[in-house]
């Protein structure tokens, strides 16, 4: 899906609640994973663009592959809005110039709404540099709600609670066990196991 361009922009803002040392260690862990798979790794910290989203436009327009990591979905959604990344990635995906990949929060944020996600993530967790308001709208780039880490030993109750919320509110959703992926290509959406 990413073609021959082996550069990846890695976004870890869903982990902005961690200490600087913990966050740096997580980025380094992911750097090693991507580099071992043959990618050139570049971290894109959206916090650097909170007051100057126009500067982010050239970076996103030059990117061919963006990976958004997991953590707190609500913090990530704020970072995307504050930096202007949300509008830029919508435009890049519509133009077909970028491939977006994400795990956990990085995938949930693509859904129509973040309602129900509060059963897995704290919407009121506010790191330094963030405002307290909660953004409940997802990016709306995929049709279904996603339930990651389904039946996992470490997130099983949370994912089950998310699923119950979607069932109770008659919302279309897809469960994803660790290792499963949800692929979207234009209007084509499918879970791969």
d(CA 74, CA 94): 24
pLDDT tens digit sequence for 68-104: 999 999 999 999 999 999 999 999 999 999 999 999 9
Q: Is residue 58 part of a domain?
A: yes
Check which CATH number belongs to the domain holding 180 and give it.
3.40.50.880
pLDDT at 4: 84
Q: Is residue 35 part of a domain?
A: yes
Flag whether the pTM goes above 0.85: yes
Measured between alpha carbons, how far is residue 84 from residues 9, 47, 48, 89, 129 in Å? 16, 11, 11, 9, 15
pLDDT tens digit sequence for 164-192: 999 999 999 999 999 999 999 877 888 88
How many independent structural domains does the chain possess? Answer: 1
Domain that holds residue 115: 7-192
Q: Is residue 103 part of a domain?
A: yes
pLDDT at 187: 76
Burial class (CB in 10 A: 0-12, 13-18, 19+), 43: middle
Q: Is residue 1 part of a domain?
A: no
CA 28 to chain centre: 18
d(CA 106, CA 100): 9
């Amino acid at each position: 899906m990413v073609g021959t361009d082996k550069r990846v922009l890695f976004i870890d803002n869903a982990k902005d609640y961690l200490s600087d040392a913990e966050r740096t260690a997580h980025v380094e862990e992911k750097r090693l994973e991507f580099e071992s798979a043959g990618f050139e790794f570049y971290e894109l910290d959206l916090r650097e663009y909170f007051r100057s989203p126009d500067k982010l436009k050239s970076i996103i327009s030059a990117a061919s592959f963006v990976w958004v990591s997991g953590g707190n979905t609500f913090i990530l959604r704020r970072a995307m809005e504050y930096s202007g990344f949300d509008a830029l990635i919508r435009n890049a995906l519509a133009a077909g110039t970028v491939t977006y990949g994400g795990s956990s929060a990085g995938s949930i944020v693509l859904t129509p709404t973040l309602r129900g996600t509060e059963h897995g993530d704290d919407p009121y967790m506010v790191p330094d540099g963030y405002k307290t308001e909660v953004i409940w709208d997802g990016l709306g780039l995929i049709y279904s709600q996603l339930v990651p880490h389904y039946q996992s030993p470490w997130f099983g109750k949370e994912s089950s609670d998310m699923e119950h919320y979607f069932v109770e509110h008659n919302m279309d959703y897809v469960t994803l066990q660790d290792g499963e992926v949800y692929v979207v290509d234009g209007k084509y959406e499918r879970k791969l196991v």
